[in-house]
Chains A and B, each alone.
Chain A
Amino acid sequence: MTSFVSALGRRTINFVSETGSVFILFYKSIRYLKQLWASRSLVFSQMLEIGVNSIPLVLFVGVFAGAVASVQTAYQLKGYISYNYLGAATSVAIFIELGPVLTALVIAGRVGASIAAEIGTMKVTEQIDALESLAIDPIRYLAMPRIFSGFIMIPLLTVFADFIGIMGAYAVAWINLDLPPETFFGSVKEFFSILNVMSGLIKAFFFGGVTAIIGCYVGFATDGGAEGVGKSTIRAFVLSSAMILLNDYILSVLLF
Chain B
Amino acid sequence: MIEIRDVEKSFENKVVLRGVDLDVYDGEKLVIIGRSGCGKSVLLKLIMNLLHPDKGYILVNDIAIKKVGQVDLFNLRKQFGFLFQNAALFDSMTVAENICLPLVEHTKLSKSQMMDKVAEKLELVGLPGIENLKPAELSGGMRKRVGLARAIVMDPNYILYDEPTTGLDPIMAANIDKLIIELSDKLNITSIVVTHDMQSVSKVADRVVMLHNGRMIFSGNVSELKSTDNEVVRQFVNGEAEGPIQPKPHKY
Contact A133 B91 (CB under 8 A): no
Would you list which residues of chain A between 113 and 151 have a CB under 8 Å from chain B?
A: 122, 125-127, 129-130, 132-137, 141
**With A125-B88, A130-B88: A136-B50 Cβ-Cβ less than 8 Å:** no
Min CB–CB distance B23 → chain A (angstroms): 22
Specify the chain A residue showing the minimal Cβ separation from B85: A126
Contact B88 A136 (CB under 8 A): no
Chain B 51-70 per-residue mask, 1 if CB under 8 angstroms from chain A, else 0: 00000000000000000001
With beta carbons under 8 angstroms apart, the residue of A125, A127, A133, A141 that contacts B50 is: A133
With beta carbons under 8 angstroms apart, the residue of B50, B86, B101 that contacts A132 is: B50
Tell me the complex Cα distance, A133–B162, Å: 13
With beta carbons under 8 angstroms apart, the residue of B45, B70, B75, B105 that contacts A134 is: B105
With beta carbons under 8 angstroms apart, the residue of B77, B89, B90, B106 that contacts A133 is: B77
Tell me the complex Cα distance, A136–B88, Å: 14
**B82 at interface by CB-CB < 8 Å:** yes
Tell me the complex Cα distance, A130–B151, Å: 10
Tell me the complex Cα distance, A252–B10, Å: 48
**B161 at interface by CB-CB < 8 Å:** no
**With A125-B88, A127-B91: A133-B48 Cβ-Cβ less than 8 Å:** yes
Min CB–CB distance A128 → chain B (angstroms): 9
Contact A136 B86 (CB under 8 A): no
Q: Which residues of B contact A125 (CB under 8 A)?
A: 86, 88, 91
Q: Which residues of A contact B89 (CB under 8 A)?
A: 127, 130
9 cross-chain CB contacts under 8 A: A125-B86, A125-B91, A126-B86, A127-B91, A130-B84, A130-B89, A132-B50, A133-B84, A134-B150
A residues touching B (Cβ–Cβ < 8 Å)? Answer: 122, 125-127, 129-130, 132-137, 141
A125-B88, A134-B102 given; name 4 further pairs at CB < 8 Å.
A130-B88, A133-B50, A135-B106, A137-B74
